Amino acid sequence: MKKASLKDIAESLGVSKALVSLVLNGKGDERGINKQTQEKVRQKARELNYIPNQYARGLRIGRTNTIGVIVPDISNVFYGTLCKAIEQEAYDKGYNLIISNTYEDVQKEKKLISDLINRNIDGLILASSFDSKNEIQGLTDTNFPLVLVDRVFDDFDVDSVSVSNIDGAKKAIEFLYSKGVKRPVCFSMSPVYVSSISERIKGYMDALKDPNKAKLVQIPHDDIEGGVANALDELQNEDYDGVFCVNNNIAKALIRELSMRGESLDQVRVISFDDIEVFDIVNPKISAIAQPIHEIGKTAVNLLIDRFNNEEGHKPQQVVLDTVLVER
């Protein structure tokens, strides 16, 4: 039950491997190969259930039609959905994905990047946890096709797709004010240096009516539950009356903690960055700043493919998409 190769088809038909290869790659007409011969080849390929060996092909062509994807955590709904969007677009364009998680561990991220390159991916889509572009400068120096998503770096001439986080955060704070909130707190998350988080903090600061009343709480990414509980304790006696959560994980922990304490969500106005299903399920519902996740994924894939097909001419672009306030 050995797999059929080009040679098997060629021999059984009495033609050359070259001819078979040409026909099967759709270059039969272009090379003026006899229609009947072409049909015979295709027929036989079907008959032998021929499956081209992509590794021989990749070796020869120098490309593998595989894109690497590295995200912090695919079981986080935001990244799960992003990966799904990337997968759909990649699948449509004939590319496969290799997906890996870093869990915000920069050592693992370094290892994953080199592992993936070892696997000869054609390009990489990266939601990085690095604190500076230095860590990936090496990649771009060697001209390796890279697209940053979600988290980007300043002054870095590499393809990227992100959202206007500052603007989104502003919209969130303005929404709180419009609902009568007097003093909004920001529940932020470590590592605070990733661009998406730091920009959202900046948006919060910018939108405050009275910057002196800014209140920023740092929630550690590896103990969100505990961090939120501590924050609530700490704020017990302060006159905060609204919370802006910089991401959905914090908002989820907050909802849970409030309900455990018997405090209704009605008492505290909450809004979150990232719109997830839960916000529409809990009672009362939670408003959110939604990211165009599908478009982020699609754009990232297409930037990469453009780079592949256009090695010389491709100019790195920093795409910034808008967020939407989902009012509930």
Out of 117, 192, 205, 268, name the contact with a second copy by CB under 8 A.
Answer: 117
Q: Please give the angle made by the CA atoms of 115, 117 and 120, to the nearest 5 degrees.
A: 115
Q: Residue 104 is encoded by which pair of tokens? A: 């915000």
Out of 4, 13, 33, 98, name the contact with a second copy by CB under 8 A.
Answer: 98
Taking contact as CB under 8 A, which single stretch among the options 19-27, 30-38, 54-62, 180-188 is the one that binds a second copy?
54-62
Residue 286 buriedness (CB in 10 A; 0-12 / 13-18 / 19+): buried
Asked whether position 51 contacts a second copy by CB under 8 A, the answer is yes
Asked whether position 37 contacts DNA by CB under 7 A, the answer is yes
Out of 34, 54, 132, 137, name the contact with a second copy by CB under 8 A.
Answer: 54
Asked whether position 135 contacts a second copy by CB under 8 A, the answer is no
Asked whether position 326 contacts DNA by CB under 7 A, the answer is no
Residue 142 buriedness (CB in 10 A; 0-12 / 13-18 / 19+): exposed
Asked whether position 216 contacts a second copy by CB under 8 A, the answer is no
**Measured from the CB atom, is 37 or 198 closer to DNA?**
37
CA separation for the pair 89, 85 (Å, rounded): 6
Out of 47, 57, 174, 278, name the contact with DNA by CB under 7 A.
Answer: 57
Residue 143 binding result from DNA, a second copy, none, given CB thresholds of 5 to 8 Å by partner type: a second copy
The DSSP 8-state label assigned to residue 1 in this structure reads -
Residues 6+ apart with CB under 8 A from 86: 67, 69, 97, 125, 297, 298, 300, 301
CA separation for the pair 192, 108 (Å, rounded): 19
Of 59, 46, 58, residue with least CA distance to 20: 46
Helices (H), the chain: 6-13, 17-24, 35-47, 54-61, 77-92, 106-118, 134-141, 165-178, 195-207, 224-235, 248-260, 278-281, 293-309
Asked whether position 5 contacts DNA by CB under 7 A, the answer is yes
Asked whether position 55 contacts a second copy by CB under 8 A, the answer is yes
Asked whether position 65 contacts DNA by CB under 7 A, the answer is no
Residue 32 binding result from DNA, a second copy, none, given CB thresholds of 5 to 8 Å by partner type: DNA
Asked whether position 317 contacts a second copy by CB under 8 A, the answer is no
Residue 99 buriedness (CB in 10 A; 0-12 / 13-18 / 19+): middle
Asked whether position 4 contacts a second copy by CB under 8 A, the answer is no
CA separation for the pair 259, 241 (Å, rounded): 16
Out of 19, 127, 169, 276, name the contact with DNA by CB under 7 A.
Answer: 19
Q: Tell me which residues touch DNA (CB under 7 A).
A: 3, 5-7, 14-19, 21-22, 24-25, 31-34, 37, 50, 52-53, 56-57, 59-61
Residues of this chain that bind a second copy (CB under 8 A): 1, 51-56, 58-59, 64-66, 73-75, 77, 80-81, 83-84, 87-88, 91, 96-101, 114-120, 142-143, 252, 255-256, 259, 277-278, 280-283
